[in-house]
Amino acid sequence: MINPEHDAQVVTRIVQQDFPLWMSVTFYLAAFVSTAIFFYGCYIQVRKYNRGQPFSLTHIKKGIVDMIKDLLSHRTLRRRDRSAGLMHALIFFSFVLLFIGTVTITLDYDILRPITGRMIFWYGEFYLWFSFVLDIAGLAFAIGLLYMMYRRKWMALPKLNYARSDRTQEEPDYDRSWYRFEDWLFLWNLVIIMITGYVLEADRLIWLQDDPTVWDYRWWSPVGTLFAEAMKSMYLTSEGAESFRYFLWWFHALTAFLFVSLLPFTKAKHIFTALVSLVVRNRRSPARLPITDATAESIGVRSITDFNWKQLLHTDACTKCGRCHEACPANASGFPLSPRDMILSLRELSNNTLQKIKIPEAPLLKVVGDGVNQIRPETLWSCRTCGACQEICPVGIEHVPMMVDIRRALIEEGEMDPAVQTALQNLQKKGNSIGENKRKRAAWTKKLDFDIKDARKKPVDLLWFVGDYASLDPRYQKVCQSFARILKTSGVDFGILFESEMSAGNDVRRVGEEGLFEYLAENNIKTLADCDFSRIVTTDPHSFNTLKNEYSELGGNYDVLHATQLVRQMLTDSQIPLARKLSKRVTYHDSCHLGRLNKEYDAPREVLGSIGVEIVEMPRNRDNAFCCGAGGGRIWTPDPIDIEKPSELRMKEAASIEGIDAFVVNCPKCMNMFEDAVKSTGSDDKLEVIEIIELVENCLADD
């Protein structure tokens, strides 16, 4: 590898070779200045985050481990955009290698050499392999960057044009062309650093082509050598290369120093903020929202300083990739909401206020309003809290808790749609959002030819928490009757709470009415405490989510099952007496609260498979399923007539599948939304909306 005639110690690269003293001193001064600007920028960002509310870190060790796993696998970046994920992996891992290379040179050349008087390891075979690996890493880095340029310019993806859905063109903060400029500045800066690095390497080879300890080992820098051959073919001589070297060297160095200096102030900061965001993210969000003190003098977020430091950091972690923008059902339906735009508005508000030496007066810190960088109320109320944005976010931003925090302040101030206010009043007075008398809650049981146990009076193995819409919606009452017959036929010991059951409060909490949520939860917990049961089952994914994930913070710890989980278990144990199987071809809709929020995708599919049903998956399924539009309190609010509802978009997606008989759901709210959508889209002659429980009942023996 090393020619025996050559001293391995001289097979290396002499940094700043033949530089006059003033040039070396100037270089180190420039390096010091750029590093000082970098650390000052970091200080400004940390000060900005500290101006938010405190946030206590928990499970930090697990967070670090999970972040490293995500980083090494690039799992979150490859999802639903494999090409971008792979190219980002090339950029990231190449950048890491190049950074390690820079640190290695600094350590041996600038730190150890002055102490020992010689190079310790950066010579000979180590140097050759070092050059080869970094040359290939640089090539991979450049390929990744050029693809990202191609993606922005020639693929012209709509999600990367930063067009705002919550502003009109006449408004001062509509134009976000700065972000496109920032993207290109970031990419071009790195590309120029990379290209000038190769050209500088080639220039050195030509300059020292008469030195065998350089030229004989040139192919250990294969890319640089190819550049050198090209430059030689253009008649660049050794003398010309020496003259060109000084200009090129300084241009390369100053470009690199510019990148370092701007890193804390531009998109490049995501190199750090995204990693921290992945560490501190709450993997249980939005299934389990952060608890707040409902008795406090003021709750929710009014000013940018009301966010905690983690949430402020989330706004800087956003890379503007647009995946949440694409996944959002409200945005797809034409509502004035983009999760990305919300995060960017908060970022801009934070940068324009909290980065200043002195924090401005309170009015300038207000989050909600019609001003520049403020979020409109109609934007906030468009959210379905379905979690699609969080599920796809590659850097772990928690959009939904931030949205709910702002809603909490609006609710406290009485700023809400009248329909939402009516629903909340009904819940306060009657324990359900529909406004029906409590005694009607169990009216559906009267059509059964058997009695259902009162779990308040008799011990039961299985306590069925029925839920609002399941109890009171005429269409879903039929599903309740089907489920009751399945349980009865299977010999299950079960009962319900009759009029003592109140709404579980899932949607109440996601609207932002924390006090009412706690009132409902505490009443239900008190009622359940007086009952004797082993497990809870519910056909309502919204109730399932809250009972399972959120009641524990208020003292209610239960073993909670969704109906499909219970039925799967009973089918596996041959507890349900099936008399027949169905020869239906259906498509299945993953409800947000059972699927995305609680990761239960298999139980419903296994139930359908057990009864002979063939499933044809929709293009968007499982964690990418498209919300029906009912969540986050939107089921209480009428949609504008000139906007296509999320449920209608979803129904059109289903109706486009050839040869299916039914659209299968597992949620009362989904049933409500899709029963309307199948009619409004003219799809009712192609398929029917049916609950999975009804299909199971169809397989029981006839009476």
Which residues, 6 or more positions from 396, have their beta carbon under 8 angstroms from its beta carbon? 76, 274, 277, 278, 280, 281, 314, 317
Q: Is pLDDT above 90 for 108? A: no
Q: Is pLDDT above 80 for 232? A: yes
pLDDT for 663? 98
Q: How is the beta sheet containing 535-538 ordered, strand by strand?
A: 453-454, 494-496, 462-464, 535-538, 560-562
Quote the CA–CA distance of 488 and 494 in Å, as a whole number: 8
Question: Per-residue pLDDT averaged across 325-330, rounded?
Answer: 96
Annotate 259-318 with DSSP letters as a single string. Answer: HHHHGGGSGGGHHHHHHHHHHH--TTTTTSPPP--TTSSS-S-SBGGGSBHHHHHHHHH-
Cα dist. 187→136, 140, 317, 371 in Å?
A: 19, 14, 18, 32
Q: How is the beta sheet containing 662-665 ordered, strand by strand?
A: 614-615, 585-588, 662-665, 688-691
pLDDT band at 84 (very low <50, low <70, confident <90, very high): very high
**Per-residue buried b or exposed e for 412-445, using 16+ beta carbons within 10 Å of the residue's own CB:** beeebbeebeebbebbeebbbbbebeeeebbebb
pLDDT for 641? 85
Q: What does the pLDDT look like over 421-480, one tens digit per residue? A: 999 999 999 999 999 999 999 999 999 999 999 999 999 999 999 999 999 999 999 999
pLDDT band at 135 (very low <50, low <70, confident <90, very high): very high
Q: Is 504 helix (H, G, I), strand (E, B) or coil?
A: coil
**Stated length of the chain:** 703
CA 356 vs. chain centroid, Å, equals 29
Which residues, 6 or more positions from 614, have their beta carbon under 8 angstroms from its beta carbon? 584, 585, 586
Give the rounded percent of residues in the chain with a pLDDT score beyond 70: 100
**Per-residue buried b or exposed e for 180-213, using 16+ beta carbons within 10 Å of the residue's own CB:** eebbebbbebbbbbbbbbbbbbbbbbbbbbeeeb
Q: Is pLDDT above 80 for 62? A: yes
Q: Is pLDDT above 70 for 24? A: yes
pLDDT for 3? 85
Backbone angles phi, psi at 206, to 5 degrees: -70, -40
Question: Per-residue pLDDT averaged across 175-188, rounded?
Answer: 91
Which of 129, 34, 148, 145 is closest to 94 using CA atoms?
Answer: 145
47 CB neighbour count, 10 Å cutoff: 13
pLDDT for 469? 92
CA 646 vs. chain centroid, Å, equals 20
Q: Which domains does the chain have, with CATH numbers?
A: 52-276 (no CATH), 299-415 (1.10.1060), 434-572 (1.20.1050), 585-697 (3.40.50)
Which of 584, 587, 661, 658 is closest to 626 using CA atoms?
Answer: 587
Cα dist. 610→199, 217, 622 in Å?
A: 65, 67, 19
Q: What is the DSSP letter of 108?
A: I
Q: Is pLDDT above 70 for 506? A: yes
pLDDT for 71? 94
What pTM value is reported for the model?
0.93
Average pLDDT score, the chain:
94
Q: What does the pLDDT look like over 257-287, one tens digit per residue? A: 999 999 999 999 999 999 999 999 998 999 9
Which amino acid, 703? D
Cα dist. 363→367, 373, 412, 522 in Å?
A: 9, 13, 18, 37
Q: Is pLDDT above 70 for 98? A: yes
Name beta bridge partners: 496.
454
CA 469 vs. chain centroid, Å, equals 30
Which residues, 6 or more positions from 111, have their beta carbon under 8 angstroms from its beta carbon? none
Q: Is pLDDT above 90 for 334? A: yes
Q: What does the pLDDT look like over 285-304, one tens digit per residue? A: 999 998 888 888 889 999 99
Question: Per-residue pLDDT averaged across 52-67, rounded?
Answer: 92
Helix (H) / strand (E) containing 491: none
Q: What does the pLDDT look like over 397-435, one tens digit per residue? A: 999 999 999 999 999 999 999 999 999 999 999 999 999
* E runs forming strands in 600-646: 614-615
Quote the CA–CA distance of 473 and 443 in Å, as a whole number: 11
Q: Is pLDDT above 70 for 537? A: yes
pLDDT for 258? 95
Q: Is pLDDT above 80 for 703? A: no
* CB hemisphere CA count around 266 (13 angstroms): 19
Annotate 222-275 with DSSP letters as a single string. Answer: HHHHHHHHHHHHTT--HHHHHHHHHHHHHHHHHHHHHHHHHGGGSGGGHHHHHH
pLDDT for 163? 84
Q: Considering Cα of 438, then 439, then 445, then 447, what sign does the dihedral take?
A: negative
Which of 245-250's residues contact partners 24+ apart within 8 Å by CB, and which partners?
Answer: 245/200, 245/203, 245/204, 245/207, 246/23, 248/196, 248/199, 248/200, 248/203, 249/200
Name beta bridge partners: 688.
662
Q: Is pLDDT above 90 for 96? A: yes
Number of H helices, E strands in the chain: 29, 9
pLDDT for 16? 87
Backbone angles phi, psi at 585, to 5 degrees: -120, 115
pLDDT band at 338 (very low <50, low <70, confident <90, very high): very high
